[in-house]
Amino acid sequence: MVPAAVLPLAHATDVATATLSTTLLLFAGLALAGLLTLLYAGLPGVQGVQLAIRRLPRLKLLWIGLTWAIITALWPVLLDSADHSVGGVNLVLMIGERALVIMALTLPFDLRDRKWDPASMKTLPQLWGTAGTRSAAVIMLVAAALASMTATDGNIVYGLGPLFMVPLVASAHERQPPWYFLLLDAALIADAALVLAFS
C-alpha cells in the first residue's frame, strides 16, 4: 500500500487513459485547489487581501494543513477508484498525517514571519513563542509518524519521513538562513522518495 500523499505522482501518468468521470474529478479537484488558494491568499485588491482566510485569527495553520491533506491524501484516494485498500480509519489517519506534517513544516515559516504578521492573526509563534512553536512542531511530527505507521499496519518505513523532519523543526528560529527553508521544502520530497523507494 502506497501512502496517498505519493499517489499524485502515480496519477500524473494515468491522465491519458482516464475515464470521463475521472477527468472531471481531476479538473474539479484542481478548481477546488485554486479556490482554496484564492481564499487563503485573498482576492485582488486591498479589501480582498484583508478578508483572506490566512488573516483570520488562529485559522491560518489549520487551513494550510487541511487544504494540503485534502489535495495530497483524500483527493488521490477518490481518484484511484480501483484502490479499495484505503478507507475508513486508515484514510482518516492518512489525512491526519498529511495535515500534521504540513502544519509542522509551516510553523518555522510562521516563526520567521512573526515580526511581519499583524498581531491580530494570532499565529502559534505569536501566542506560544519560539520554544512553544518548536515543541508543537515536534509533537505534530511524532503524531504524524505514529498515524502513518498505524495506517500501514505498523510499517516503520512510512513513519521515518516525519521523524527525519524533527531536527529541522526543532532548530527553527526567526533568523534561519534561506537555505534552511529550502530544506523544509525538500523534506516533503525526501519523504515521498523514501516511501516510493521502500514500497
pLDDT, tens digit (0-9, with 9 covering 90-100), for 137-175: 999 999 999 999 998 888 888 899 999 999 999 999 988
Look at 2-16, 66-80, 111-125 and tell me which has the smallest mean pLDDT.
Answer: 2-16
**pLDDT average, residue stretch 90-102:** 92
pLDDT, tens digit (0-9, with 9 covering 90-100), for 76-85: 777 776 555 6
Cell of 48: 480582498
Q: Note down the domain range covering 113.
A: 4-198
Look at 2-6, 21-25, 70-74, 109-113 and tell me which has the smallest mean pLDDT.
Answer: 2-6
Cell of 37: 488558494
> CA angle, corner 191, sides to 92 and 53, nearest 5?
55
The residue whose grid cell reads 494515468 is: 14
Amino acid at residue number 8: P
Is the pLDDT reported for residue 6 higher than 50? no
The pLDDT assigned to 41 comes to: 72
126 contacts 119 by C-beta, under 8 angstroms: yes
- Whole-model pTM above 0.95? no
Collapsing DSSP to helix, strand or coil, 52 comes out as coil
pLDDT, tens digit (0-9, with 9 covering 90-100), for 23-69: 777 777 778 777 877 777 776 666 666 667 777 767 788 888 988 88
Total number of domains constituting the chain: 1
